[in-house]
Amino acid sequence: MTMTMKPWIAVSIWLALGLAPVWATETSCSPKKLDTTLFGVALEDSRSALARLGKDWETQRSDLQLESALFQSQDGKQTLTVFIQPDGGSDYAIAQFDLRLRQTGEKHRRLPEGLLKTGSGIRLGLRMGEIVARLGVCFTETTTASKRRILHYGVETAQGASFLQRYNMPAYKADYEFENGRLVHFRFGLEQP
């Protein structure tokens, strides 16, 4: 009888031992999957955004000089921020998604679902090894002052020319933040030129 270990368990053990992915900094390394959807809304697709998020978003200017709109999950436990593409040709073309646990007192427009997840099934609460098993080992890692670990994935023109040409953008970035081994915040999308 042969025993096999689930990939995310093996990766969790590897990360717990502090073994950094050596090849993560190589220029030829690319994530094995790039998420482009969250909650059924696709990057730069105003039709899916309108169908899932509705119209008349209350927007504000964000830290990236992008307009943003805030929503919360039906159960009130998660906050979704969408960053709107400034030259997307539509007021509803989303450049980036940001999902985190809702802060006490926050109130935003409610979405019709409680569990928000990406096209590859990434959702808050997953373990770090589960993320690495889905996206691969091509990442860099940082640790915040509050001991949160952040995995940084990305693709620039040299690695992902065909993917980025589809969106006419120079880079794609994704950050996954963990507290006590669980995903508590993530952000992904297209970097502006």
71-94 pLDDT, tens digit each: 999 999 999 999 987 665 667 889
Task: Tell the residue number behind the tokens 């926050």, with chain if given.
Answer: 106
The predicted pLDDT at position 160 comes to: 64
Which of 16-30, 41-55, 86-100 has the least mean pLDDT? 16-30
Q: Rounded to whole angstroms, how far apart are CA atoms 110 and 76?
A: 8
Q: CATH fold of 20-35+123-193, please? A: Beta-lactamase Inhibitory Protein; Chain:B, domain 1 (3.30.1450)
Higher-confidence position of 176 and 31: 176
Residues linked to residue 155 through DSSP beta bridges, in sequence order = 172
Q: Rounded to whole angstroms, how far apart are CA atoms 12 and 187?
A: 21
The predicted pLDDT at position 62 comes to: 60
The predicted pLDDT at position 61 comes to: 73
For residue 55, pLDDT beyond 70? yes
The predicted pLDDT at position 23 comes to: 37
Which of 40-44, 62-66, 119-123, 183-187 has the least mean pLDDT? 62-66
Q: How far is CA 5 from CA 8, 13, 149, in A?
A: 8, 11, 24
For residue 193, pLDDT beyond 60? yes
For residue 24, pLDDT beyond 90? no
Counting Cβ atoms within 10 Å, is residue 142 exposed (0-12), middle (13-18) or buried (19+)? exposed
In the chain, where are the structural domains located? Answer: 20-35+123-193, 36-117
Q: Rounded to whole angstroms, how far apart are CA atoms 133 and 7?
A: 6
For residue 46, pLDDT beyond 80? yes
Segment 49-72 mean pLDDT: 83
The predicted pLDDT at position 119 comes to: 94
What whole-number percentage of the chain has pLDDT above 90?
52
For residue 17, pLDDT beyond 50? no
Q: What pLDDT, in 10s, does the model give residues 115-137?
A: 899 999 999 999 999 999 999 99
Q: Rounded to whole angstroms, how far apart are CA atoms 29 and 72?
A: 35
